[in-house]
Chain A
Amino acid sequence: MAQRTSTHSRATQKRHRSIWINLLTAVLAIVWILPIVWIVLTSFRAEGGAFVQYFVPKSYTFQNYVTLFNNPDFPFLQWFLNTLMVSAVTCVISTLIIIAMAYSLSRLRFKFRGPFLKIALVLNMFPGFMSMIAIYYILKAMNLTQSLVALILVYSSGAALGFYIAKGFFDTIPMALDESAMIDGATKFQIFTKITLPLSKPIVVYTALMAFMAPWMDFIFAKIILGDAIHKYTTAIGLYSMMTKTTQNSLFMTFTAGCVVIAIPITILFIFMQRYYVEGITSGAVKG
């Protein structure tokens, strides 16, 4: 008898726990998703300015998206194409550089390897844009400021020190594979192309996507390098430029529409690559 009540109460306890867990998850999910829902709603809002007293719009319109693509002072389409161009080129160059660096530092043995890893660690500890003024003048000396080429140069050369995650991945491929291929008669180049690369698809995809996404996210370098050349802007600084004190109110909904337009492809890319993201971080982390 006593036993039955105890199993009975345990079952209710279990059910209570289950309800609480599901409820808590739902509440948290709402907290996290609400701002995003809000931005999507706002992008379709027909009335009002930047600040309104309510979450759900009173009336809906596509006008914000139309304005977004047809405002000559804020050429969003141009920005979009600029960013696409920069990120496509950066993606190719950065991926090549990162994979090359990571492979060399992980699989090849040469005298400079140890010192280089230490130097890279030190260089990585300086705040990135401490040197941005100097970079600006170097680019100016090369007559490249206010150009997308300069952006590509900066993003790609930054990649050379971002090899850690890819190196962590390469470190997990057994060295015996390389040795076996060496005995089979392969040169280091052949080992790289025929053995290591085919085994490294996840990390190549991850690296490429990260490199592709960077120009959509960064604005501080872009802002310094591009200055006031509005037609060279990337979407990030372009959208940010919509949010000045004078334009904030009139352009807020257009801004949110812009955010939605660029967030959609990035979100899709991200969901697609999240598996690689986790693999990348954990494999790098385990190896330090």
Chain B
Amino acid sequence: MMTKFWKKSSAKKSVIPKPISFGELFKKGDSLTKLQYFVMGSNNIAKKQVPKGLFFLGVEILFFYWLVSNGIHAIAMLKTLGTKSQGWKYDKTLGIQIQQAGDNSMLLLLFGIAALLAIVLFIYVYWTNFKSNRKLYTLAKEGHKIPSTMQDIRSLFDEKFHITLMAIPIVGVLAFTVLPLLYMISIAFTSYDHNHLPPKNLFHWVGFTNFGSVINGDISSTFFPVLTWTIVWAVVATATTFFGGILLALLLNAKPLRGKKFWRIIFMITMAVPQFVSLLLMANLFNDSGPINALLLNLGWIKTAIPFLTNGMLAKLTIIVVNMWIGIPVTMLVATGIIQNLPQDQIEAATIDGANTFQIFRKITFPQIVFVMAPALIQQFIGNINNFNVIYLLTGGYPSNSTFYSAGETDLLVTWLYKLTVDSADYNLASVIGILIFILSAVFSLFAYKKTNSYQNGGMA
């Protein structure tokens, strides 16, 4: 107001000095600095950082050895995914047919992607090597001492502690999450289906053909019904468990209820039973000749067994009901935690203003629960899109539908994906489905996070 804000623009750009660039260092550095560009770690070794230097050098030697012996081949093969198919071939010198092993497209693809990852990793190490070189240069220029190996190790437990903590987990993520994902994403662009199964047959890059056949081709008549049911399921399953859970929590926190703890534990026990147990059990209970049907028949309420799990529409209903049985206690437990911690003064203020119980719930309690649980709710929705267990264990996707390709009435995208890989070996289609599920989840959560953020910010202000 009285003193003006000191904008950066009015004071010539940023004051943070930029570190010397890759090319610049090469121009300005001495011969040892230059050498490090080609022989990794050489400058470190010369400046008595022997283990560090040896590490860089070792990585470089190993990398180039691997590149020559394996890597170049692996990357080259990525282009064609193999040319020699398995089969019999006439050998002129022997004059007989001999068996030719052929290329395994699947392994070629896997190794090719692994090779690309290895190159990325090497570039990262090379960049670290450059940064270390730069550090040596700036330290020398400013007349500081070069840290000893001991000091380097100590820094791994202090300012570089995150490297110590995260190095191993990240290697695990690369090997068991990133690599498989890249591989599966690539498969979506190949002809890897039941007609092209390695090692017997080769498969090839086919571009977006698979996406075409899922969205617009012969698979689309399965895809869209399954997609619709997946979305309906995710919305209904999330909503029923969420509202059910909150209502149950309110019920269990109602003042007149006696033995609150006891009731809570009863509902918690159902959460603790492993899901596959309770689901297999439910499948048995709702079987055409299971106890529920038997009971109803005995009571004479029905004449023939209700096809809880064998009629498409009924099966979908049953799945949602069973999911409520599983999911409501989870929400209840969390909502109870929130309800018990709600600030009482707002509720008291509302009571004084003359609000009744229902109005208090709708205007005060419920918005606050939604506010706290919104992120968990989004996760639950994504989880339901990917809810493999409930479908697979309860109905296995059945009852079957003759117009569907490799899917049943109750199959979600994920269980269909599973069947496409395990039963019909259409890996390319399965990958396309996987990518579409990802897009679905990503679009939804982006949208939802934006919404809740603005809602939460608005709520806070």
Touch between chains A and B, by CB atoms below 8 Å:
yes
Render A35-79 as a binary contact track against B, CB cut-off 8 A, 1 for contact: 110110000000000111111000000000000000000000000
> What's the least CB distance linking A138 to chain B, in Å?
7
A17 within 8 A of B: yes
- Residues in A neighbouring B354, C-beta threshold 8 A: none
Interface-lining segment among A2-10, A121-129, A197-205: A121-129
**Could you tell me if A188 and B158 are in contact, using CB atoms closer than 8 angstroms?**
yes
**Could you tell me if B274 and A216 are in contact, using CB atoms closer than 8 angstroms?**
yes
**Could you tell me if A278 and B336 are in contact, using CB atoms closer than 8 angstroms?**
yes
> What's the least CB distance linking B459 to chain A, in Å?
12
Interface-lining segment among A22-30, A84-92, A169-177: A22-30
- Residues in A neighbouring B338, C-beta threshold 8 A: 282
- Most central of B110, B165, B376 by chain A CB within 10 Å: B165
B373 within 8 A of A: yes
**Could you tell me if A51 and B257 are in contact, using CB atoms closer than 8 angstroms?**
no
Given known pairs A17-B256, A125-B442, A128-B386, the reply for A51 and B291 (CB within 8 Å) is yes
How far apart sit A214 and B181, CA to CA, in the bound complex (Å)?
Answer: 22
**Could you tell me if B172 and A127 are in contact, using CB atoms closer than 8 angstroms?**
no
Closest chain A residue, CB of each to CB of B373: A285
Range for the number of chain B residues in contact with chain A: 35 or more
Choice from A31, A127, A188 contacting B437 with Cβ under 8 Å: A127
How far apart sit A210 and B139, CA to CA, in the bound complex (Å)?
Answer: 47
Give residues of chain B (261-312) contacting chain A, Cβ–Cβ below 8 Å: 263, 265-278, 280-282, 284-285, 287, 289-291, 294-295, 297-298
**Could you tell me if B294 and A97 are in contact, using CB atoms closer than 8 angstroms?**
no
How far apart sit A17 and B273, CA to CA, in the bound complex (Å)?
Answer: 33
A160 within 8 A of B: yes
Closest chain A residue, CB of each to CB of B250: A21
Render B341-370 as a binary contact track against A, CB cut-off 8 A, 1 for contact: 000000000000000000000000000000
How far apart sit A125 and B446, CA to CA, in the bound complex (Å)?
Answer: 11
Closest chain B residue, CB of each to CB of A248: B284
How far apart sit A135 and B181, CA to CA, in the bound complex (Å)?
Answer: 9
Choice from A32, A131, A160 contacting B184 with Cβ under 8 Å: A131
**Could you tell me if A160 and B172 are in contact, using CB atoms closer than 8 angstroms?**
yes
B231 within 8 A of A: no
How far apart sit A240 and B268, CA to CA, in the bound complex (Å)?
Answer: 24
> What's the least CB distance linking B137 to chain A, in Å?
20
A148 within 8 A of B: no
**Could you tell me if A137 and B107 are in contact, using CB atoms closer than 8 angstroms?**
yes
How far apart sit A134 and B107, CA to CA, in the bound complex (Å)?
Answer: 10
> What's the least CB distance linking B195 to chain A, in Å?
17
- Residues in A neighbouring B50, C-beta threshold 8 A: none
Render B422-441 as a binary contact track against A, CB cut-off 8 A, 1 for contact: 00000100110010011001
> What's the least CB distance linking A6 to chain B, in Å?
17
Render A97-125 as a binary contact track against B, CB cut-off 8 A, 1 for contact: 10011011000101001000000001101
B178 within 8 A of A: yes
Given known pairs A32-B267, A35-B278, A54-B294, the reply for A267 and B272 (CB within 8 Å) is yes
- Residues in A neighbouring B254, C-beta threshold 8 A: 21
Choice from A110, A255, A286 contacting B162 with Cβ under 8 Å: A110
> What's the least CB distance linking B212 to chain A, in Å?
20
- Most central of B161, B269, B291 by chain A CB within 10 Å: B161
**Could you tell me if B269 and A36 are in contact, using CB atoms closer than 8 angstroms?**
yes
Closest chain B residue, CB of each to CB of A33: B266
Known pairs A123-B178, A157-B175; list 5 more (Cβ under 8 Å): A17-B256, A160-B177, A217-B275, A271-B272, A278-B336
Q: Could you name 20 residue pairs across A and B whose Cβ atoms are closer than 8 Å?
A: A22-B256, A25-B252, A32-B270, A36-B270, A38-B281, A39-B277, A54-B291, A54-B298, A104-B165, A127-B414, A127-B417, A127-B437, A128-B386, A131-B184, A137-B107, A270-B268, A271-B265, A271-B272, A278-B333, A279-B337
For the complex of A and B, 10 pairs with smallest distance between CB atoms: A131-B180, A157-B172, A134-B180, A18-B256, A130-B434, A270-B272, A189-B157, A160-B169, A188-B161, A157-B176
